[in-house]
Each structure stands twice: as C-alpha cells, then as structure tokens.
Amino acid sequence: MITQLPFDGLAQVGDDLQPSFADLGEPLSSVDFCVVDLETTGTGKDAAITEIGASHVRAGEVLAEFQTLVDPERPVPAEISVLTGITPSLLRGAPNLPSVLPAFLEFSHGCVMVAHNARFDMGFLRRGCERLGYPWQPRQVLDTLALARQIIPRTEVRNYALGTLAAHVRADTTPTHRALEDVRATVDLLHYLIARVGNRGVTTLDDLIAMMRPVSPTRRQRAPWAKDLPHAPGVYWFFRNDPPRLSAVPAEESGGNDTEESLLPVPGSPGNDGREILYVGTSVDIHRRVQGYFTASERRARMEDMIRQADGVSCVECRTPLEAKVRELRLITTHQPRYNRRSKRAAHPVWIALTDEPYPRLSIVRDPGTKVRFGPFPGRDDAQLVVEALHEAFPVRQCSTRLSVRRPSPACALAEMGRCPAPCDHRIGRDEYIELVGEVARALSGDVSTVVSAHAARIGPLSDQERYEEAAEVRRRLQGYLETSRRHQRIASLGRCAQLVAARRTADSFAPAGAAGRPGWEIHVIRYGRLAGAARTRPGESAVRVAEEAVLLAESVAASPHGSAAFPEETALVASWLEEPGVRLIDVQGDWVWPLRTTIAAEDLPRVLTGLRPIARLGRATPVPAAPPGAGH
C-alpha cells in the first residue's frame, strides 16, 4: 500500500518541475554490457591468462565479439589442457598479455562488466592492469552467479554452475570451457535473468545490481512499495495499519506554540488515519532511499524487523533540506516511532535550573517552566557534567535539603571541607548568598569569564604536578559548559525574534523533481525559533517575490514565555542553517543577537587557558581576556 500526501503546514510556492529521465535511473535497455570469460593456467595468483572472450551487448542484441588466445609465458598444466583443450602447441605464436590487454580495455570501455563468478575473472584482469600500469576502473561489475542464486530457486536447478544454468535456460550455446562459447552462454543466461525479474519492478541498472545481494523473501515481496514513490527530496515513513494511538505532544512540551499541529495530528497526516508510524526518514531522492531498504545494502537488523511489520510507506515532498529535517523531527517527536533512535526525546530535553527557594541551588529538570534555565541537554549525564563545571566556579550548595532562613540546620560534609559556604548553619547571610547565586545566573545567561578563569586556576596546578588525566577531565567539563552556552544562546536568540526571513543560493541536488543541479534560492520564514514556511525558487523566478508569498502563506506562531516556540532541537536546526555560508537576511522583525563573551571556540581554548595560567598559579581568578576574532561569539 503506497500513499503520497500533498504539501501541508509549510508554505507551498510554485509547481514542481517535471522529472527528468536522469532522475529515474539508467534503464536496462540502454546499458552497454561487456560479458567476459577468461581461461587461465590455474586459480592461484601465479596463474596467467590463456584466452579472453567477450561480447558487447545492448538491449538484448550482441553488437560485437572479442576473442583471442594469450601466451601465458609459462607452462600450461596438463589437467588444464585436458579441461579447456588449450595446449602449448595451440598457444605457440599467440600474442602475450601486454599486446592483448589494451585492445580488450578499449573494447570494454564504458561497459558494465558481466561474468559468471565475476570475482575470478575480474581478479585476473585487475592484476594484469596493475602489473602493466593500466587503470582498472570498471564502471560496474555484474555477477550472473550471484544473480542466479537470488532469482532462480534451488528447487529448479541442482547447482549454479554455468553448464547447469545454460541447460536450464535453454541457451543457444553449450559451455565448453572455451572463452567465447562460455561468453555466449553467459549472454543467454543474463537475458533470461533480466526477463525473469522484470515483473518485480527491476527496470534499471541499480535495480539489477541490488538483486545480486541476498535479502529475505519478505523484503523481496515488498520491494514494489518503492515503485511509485517520487524521485524528489522529502520525508518518508513506514506504517502499520493499527488502531490510532494518542501520541501527540502537549503544547506545553512542544515549546509553548498553541497550534493544532502541536496539540493533535494534522488531518491527513501520518498517525491520524488509524496507522502506527514505525519509522521516519529523509532523503534527497525518496524513491531511491526507500528502494534501498529492500536490498542487501540495508543490513541493520531492526530495519529487517521493521519492514516485516510494515504495511506500507508514505511520503511528503519538501522544498529544502531544512524543511525535510524539521518535518522528520516533528513526526518523530509526535509519534515516537519504535524503530527511530534519534530525536525521540526532543520534546523532553534536560535543563539546568536554579531552584525557587530561599537558598537556591542548581538542579537538573525536565520542565524548568519560567525559572532561570540553561541548556538544553540530550540527557542527564551531559547536564551533570556542566553542573560540576559550575560548582567548580561557584560554591553554591549542592544538598537538596529545604533550608530555612530563620532556623539553622546541621552543616554537611562539603561545608566542613570548605567547598560550600554553609547557608544551612547560617555561616553565610542570605543576602550574600543571593549575590553568589546572581553570579551563577550571569554565567547561565552568557558571561563565561568567571567559569573559564576558575577552571584555568584548577588546570594549571594539575598540569604542573603531571596529573594530566585529571586536568583533561577538568577541561572536558569546561568544554561541555562552553558548548552548552553557545547552544543556549543560539536557541534563545532565535526564540526572541518575532520573524526572520532568509535565503540561500544553492545548486545542490536537493531540488524539486527535474531541477537537480539548477541554481535557485531556498527561502525560509522563521518565527520565534520555529520554521513557519519554506519555499524554493525555480530558475529565473524572483527570490523577493517568492519570499513575499512564503511570508503570506507561513504558519502563524505565537511567542512562547519559555523561549523558543519550537522544540529546542528544531530551533538548533534552524540556527545551523542560518549560520551556513551564503545565507542572506531578507527581513528581521525583532533582534537576533548574542551577548558578548558567550563562548570560546574549541581551537582557541588552549591559548586562552595558557594566557590565564600565570595568574591562576597565584590563586587569583580574573576575567577572560578579549577573545581573538573567531574565538567566540
């Protein structure tokens, strides 16, 4: 069962171009095959070629034949002479391989090489080319032995030897262990195999190559699912016809955008028609990517199980790579496909927040609400690493006990070790502690100088004492904090921007059907960090006009009190696209800015730490010096 949905949600601008023949793959009727067979003095690496036979075939017709004996320049074993009929006297006066090989390479140039047990014949040709200094670059190699094993059941033949198969397909020539006769039998076998798989949707060279590899009968039977899918970029998903599941993400977990898409599945979209979504993916060519799941190139065990349970595949074409990635993320987050591993927790990221109590502390939470928060993180382990980095710089309390402003509590072990100011027994006043928490809040909001200086003061002595592993761990915590600071600012800055329209000129293969490689503009409308519209110009079309239409058709997005109006991972995808070379801003409503001293580039961090080290040895922490161009944001 195959369905294809029209565009929905994101902006639709312009009609698709007609697909080109190149998008459909090379049809078998236009492929030049060179069917080859070699006779040799043996099977080892020291064996030599004694005869070459070949046939140039296209569209079922033999266009030319090539045959020559080859002087092996070594004795021919008696058993080989008995098997092939090629005796030393027959080879007397025959040309040697240096004289023959150039002619054969010219004969087979540009052809798909075909042989029965191709590994044997191709091995001799490759070694001969390497020895004589000729490039060995066959366009593609097709093995009729591997094809026959996949196409002809074992119940029909006793073995897959060329003689047995030639008799089975009623070849006009009987193999005799002479090169040209064996080639002619292989040609008949090739044509039989191609005809036999024609009803399986095998119409192109790529299809035939895929047939050589062993796959399960289930995947073979479901290969026609890909037949009618478009050669176009977009999102695809495998589904099972199960009762509908309530898998939509509540609005408060989707970033606060109170729209139909964030509350319930869109009518006509996957998951809203009684189907369970099993797997979601993206590709620049939906047809070819889905087709790959039914060949041996797909070796993941979970994909084998997924295809066995699936009842069909659907798709949505997309205008740009970013639109495809965002659609994929939203589908995975909303429907939680069991066979997807990435992005399934995009709606539930982990954050670091300051607790709301008289003596605040750092806490790892899933839903920070309106609290001061820092992140997001993919998991608790990543968040814990950054919490340790912050504790290295700021001695805020780490205990989870609820403390009272009026009644003191017993001090914990960290207080006795001098690693906590001990607000529990009131060694530090509340106002002084709140001032310390304010420094933590500034570190969470973008000023990394205090955290960097504290870690420099720690790394210096460890290096002097040759405790390099501990120094590396401290640096790893600092690097995690700096990377999170950059990610936090990227997401927060876009989340505050009411509208941003940008375009990038592109000539890549991700284009509407038939437009691959043609220059154009991909245009995106971003509202409060959410991708609200996407469009792509056709050759000669005005980018400004298309951008104006995209804005008019874009989704309405309300500002979120929690930052971005989309999942943090979606906003990060949008930010990555905006930072790519060649992106041009068309319209900005609001401010898209980052604070100074937000982070330090990984390649500049060693130099910054070295510059702070002399001061660190004196036990003083100083602000990070101004970073060089490109070191920070």
- The string of pLDDT tens digits covering residues 431-440 is 888 898 899 9
Q: Which amino acid is at 85?
A: G
Tokens of 546: 């298309």
pLDDT bracket for residue 186 (50, 70, 90): very high
pLDDT above 90 covers a percentage of the chain that reads 33
3-class secondary-structure state, position 156: coil
* pLDDT score of 6: 41
pLDDT bracket for residue 404 (50, 70, 90): confident
Phi, psi angle pair for 381, to nearest 5°: -60, -40
How far apart are the C-alpha atoms of 236 and 331, rounded to whole Å? 10
**What is the residue whose two structure tokens read 């026959």?**
148
Task: Quote the distance between the C-alpha of residue 341 and its chain's center.
Answer: 12
pLDDT in tens, 116-127: 999 999 999 999
Residue 307's H or E segment, with its range, is: helix 301-309
The structural domains of the chain, with segments of one domain joined by +, span: 28-202, 214-335, 350-491, 494-589
Question: Which DSSP category does 224 fall into?
Answer: G
Residues contacting residue 374 through CB under 8 Å, at least 6 positions apart? 351, 352, 353, 386, 444, 484, 485, 488
pLDDT bracket for residue 548 (50, 70, 90): very high
pLDDT bracket for residue 243 (50, 70, 90): low
Same fold, 28-202 and 214-335: no
Tokens of 175: 């193999």
- Which of 453, 489, 484, 481 is closest to 390 using CA atoms? 481
* pLDDT score of 261: 39
Let me know: does 430 contact 359? Beta carbons within 8 Å.
Answer: yes
Examine the pLDDT at 407 and tell me if it is beyond 70: yes
* pLDDT score of 279: 93
- Which of 511, 507, 505, 20 is closest to 284 using CA atoms? 511
pLDDT bracket for residue 365 (50, 70, 90): confident
Residue 127's H or E segment, with its range, is: helix 118-132
Ranges 24-28, 363-367, 386-390, 507-511: which has the least confidence: 507-511
Rounded to the nearest integer, the mean pLDDT of the chain is 81
Going edge to edge, which strands form the sheet with 373-377? 362-365, 350-354, 373-377
Q: What is the CB neighbour count within 10 angstroms for residue 618?
A: 10
| Domain boundaries 28-202, corresponding CATH code | 3.30.420.10
Q: Which amino acid is at 419?
A: R
Task: Quote the distance between the C-alpha of residue 621 and its chain's center.
Answer: 43
Let me know: does 324 contact 281? Beta carbons within 8 Å.
Answer: no
> Radius of gyration over alpha carbons of the chain, in Å?
34
Topology, domain 214-335 = GIY-YIG endonuclease (3.40.1440)
Distances (CA, A) of 463 to 196, 474, 475, 620: 70, 11, 11, 17
* pLDDT score of 117: 93
Choose between 395 and 510: higher pLDDT. 395
Tokens of 203: 């119409």
**What is the residue whose two structure tokens read 């964030």?**
262
Ranges 47-51, 297-301, 501-505: which has the least confidence: 297-301
Task: Quote the distance between the C-alpha of residue 306 and its chain's center.
Answer: 19
Tokens of 589: 């409503």
* pLDDT score of 606: 79
* pLDDT score of 632: 44
How far apart are the C-alpha atoms of 177 and 362, rounded to whole Å? 80
- Which of 377, 334, 564 is closest to 481 using CA atoms? 377
Distances (CA, A) of 26 to 150, 277, 290, 305: 22, 32, 18, 31
Examine the pLDDT at 68 and tell me if it is beyond 70: yes
pLDDT above 70 covers a percentage of the chain that reads 83
Examine the pLDDT at 323 and tell me if it is beyond 90: yes
Choose between 602 and 121: higher pLDDT. 121
Examine the pLDDT at 625 and tell me if it is beyond 70: no
pLDDT bracket for residue 346 (50, 70, 90): low
Let me know: does 101 contact 71? Beta carbons within 8 Å.
Answer: no
How far apart are the C-alpha atoms of 474 and 391, rounded to whole Å? 12
Examine the pLDDT at 542 and tell me if it is beyond 50: yes
Q: Which amino acid is at 285?
A: D
Average pLDDT of 293-307? 80
Let me know: does 115 contact 36? Beta carbons within 8 Å.
Answer: yes
Q: What is the CB neighbour count within 10 angstroms for residue 432?
A: 11
Between helix 468-495 and helix 449-464 the angle, nearest 10°, is 170
3-class secondary-structure state, position 403: coil
The distance in angstroms from the start CA to the end CA of the chain is: 50
pLDDT bracket for residue 398 (50, 70, 90): confident
Average pLDDT of 447-468? 86
Let me know: does 222 contact 304? Beta carbons within 8 Å.
Answer: no
How far apart are the C-alpha atoms of 329 and 344, rounded to whole Å? 8
- Which of 235, 211, 242 is closest to 8 using CA atoms? 235
Tokens of 627: 């970073």
Beta bridge partner(s), residue 350? 377
